[in-house]
Amino acid sequence: MSELKNDRFLKALLREPVDVTPVWMMRQAGRYLPEYKATRAKAGSFMDLCMNPELACEVTIQPLERFPLDAAILFSDILTIPDAMGLQLRFAEGEGPIFDKPVRTEADVNNLFVPDPEGELKYVMDAVRTIRRELNGRVPLIGFSGSPWTLATYMVEGSSSKEYSKVKGMLFDRPDLMHKLLDTTAKAVIQYLNAQIAAGAQAVQIFDTWGGILTPRDYKEFSLNYMQQIIDGLTREADGRKVPVILFTKGGGQWLEAMADTGADALGIDWTCDIGKARERVGDRVALQGNMDPTVLYANPDRIREEVGTILESYGQGSGHIFNLGHGIHQHVDPEHAGAFIKAVHELSPKYHV
Ligand code: CP3
């Protein structure tokens, strides 16, 4: 494999010295880019795009052609695992994801299985291998998965949800069933992420998008506990380099100490916590990734730059900060504003690394 030309993202994840603060954006390949929309139209549907390694590679690299990002993230989706379990995923125009066979009964839970990452999910591993080849060492490639709890919300609800009545109904009425679902899903995630690492992913992120809707007790029992199992089961070194793990619970600001206890290398934080205070709480146990409010990108470039400066100042001196948005970039953001954001991080951060 080729030498990494820019490894400041991997270094910052391990809190090793860097020249400037590295930056990438969650959902950096996506609908705010006209070139993404063109490739997606060529592919047919979103899932066709995910299942075509050449096109998935093309859209992964598109944002890097525009902006000097410090990492690439695999173009795929967290819902590939439940799809491979037979739940039949489709994306209806304007409605988001839908599972035609959601998990509602004991029999449905018993039918779940751990998909073979080089079988049903081979298209994802092929995408990882293709992207690594095409990146040719330009920046590291991030692999990812949903957390078992976040996957469960879609598997049980059958779609995106506002109230989570079905998945929380199962959690409260049949915790045994919910644990069985989460246990199978955690095993699937471990195999899936380890296969991504074997295929070339150089860091991995666990997206716990819906951990923040749980009570503190339920968060530990039904979400964090399974992310702990995943972290314990992951390959942590490949090609003579550490493979850092990033844990991102949206709305998880009150649980950072517990999240740091899992042994993750870095925590993703959303914009509802102050990154300086978060740093005081986790000390030097983990790096922090985040956390600009994605809607700041609707403001003018000077305002964006000011906000970047405030967050850099709040984190303060030294390594261990990976700049990002607090959640994915919105589809109606002007790409030039994303460019102003990335430029501001690189221009304003050197003084924190002297
Ligand atoms: O970050 C990246 O650029 C990598 C690609 C990526 C996608 N989805 C592409 C995508 C990643 C990391 C994801 C993760 C994902 N998918 C999450 C967790 C991250 C988060 O945002 O908290 C979740 C919850 C999903 C499930 C999912 N996929 C939903 C709810 C939707 C619909 C969203 C919408 O706005 O309609 C998707 C579709 C999806 N995944 C798109 C992209 C670029 C848009 C699809 C399109 O082109 O129409």
Return the exposure string of 3-42: e unless at least 16 CB atoms fall within 10 Å of the residue's CB, then b.
Answer: ebebbbbbbbbebeebebbbbbbbbbbbebbeebeebbee
40 catalytic residue (yes or no): yes
The strand pair at 321-325 and 96-99 is best described as unpaired
97 lines ligand 1 (CB under 6 A): yes
> Which residue owns the Cα nearest ligand 1 atom 28?
77
301: left (phi over 0), alpha (psi -120 to 50) or beta: alpha
80 lines ligand 1 (CB under 6 A): no
- Mean of the per-residue pLDDT values of the chain: 97
77 catalytic residue (yes or no): yes
145 lines ligand 1 (CB under 6 A): no
Mean pLDDT confidence for 289-310: 98
Burial (0-12, 13-18, 19+ Cβ within 10 Å), 138: middle
Question: Does residue 312 contact residue 345 with C-beta atoms inside 8 Å?
Answer: yes
261 catalytic residue (yes or no): no
Q: Where are the alpha helices (DSSP H) in 112-147?
A: 122-135
Distance of alpha carbon 222 from alpha carbon 138, whole angstroms? 38
Pocket test for ligand 1, best of 26, 48, 78 (most atoms within 8 A of CB): 78
pLDDT interval class at 94 (50, 70, 90): confident
Spell out the domain ranges in the chain: 8-353
Q: Which H or E element spans position 114?
A: none
Tens of pLDDT, residues 338-350: 999 999 999 999 9
Ranges assigned E (strand) in 180-317: 203-208, 237-238, 241-242, 245-249, 266-268, 287-292
Tens of pLDDT, residues 245-296: 999 999 999 999 999 999 999 999 999 999 999 999 999 999 999 999 999 9
The catalytic position among 8, 36, 70, 77 is 77
Quick check: 1 pLDDT over 60? Answer: no
279 catalytic residue (yes or no): no
> Which residue owns the Cα nearest ligand 1 atom 18?
207
Distance of alpha carbon 113 from alpha carbon 81, whole angstroms? 10
Tens of pLDDT, residues 215-228: 999 999 999 999 99
144 lines ligand 1 (CB under 6 A): yes
Q: How far is the CA of 77 from the centre of ligand 1 (A)?
A: 6
Dihedral pair phi/psi, residue 326, rounded to 5°: -75, -15
pLDDT interval class at 93 (50, 70, 90): confident
Closest by Cα among 304, 308, 250, 315 to 282: 315
Q: What angle do CA 297, 301, 307 make, to 5 degrees?
A: 65
Q: What angle do CA 150, 156, 159 make, to 5 degrees?
A: 80
Closest by Cα among 296, 297, 254, 245 to 272: 254
What CATH class has 8-353?
alpha beta
Q: DSSP secondary structure string, 4-43?
A: PS--HHHHHHTT---SS--B--TT-SSTTSHHHHHHHHHH
Tens of pLDDT, residues 128-168: 999 999 999 999 999 999 999 999 999 999 999 999 999 99
27 catalytic residue (yes or no): yes
Residue 128, amino acid:
V
Please state whether the predicted TM-score (pTM) of the whole model is above 0.95: yes
The catalytic position among 27, 104, 241, 285 is 27
Q: How far is the CA of 63 from the centre of ligand 1 (A)?
A: 16
Cα distances from 340 to residues 113, 284, 336, in angstroms, run 45, 30, 6
Cα distances from 33 to residues 28, 51, 249, in angstroms, run 9, 20, 26
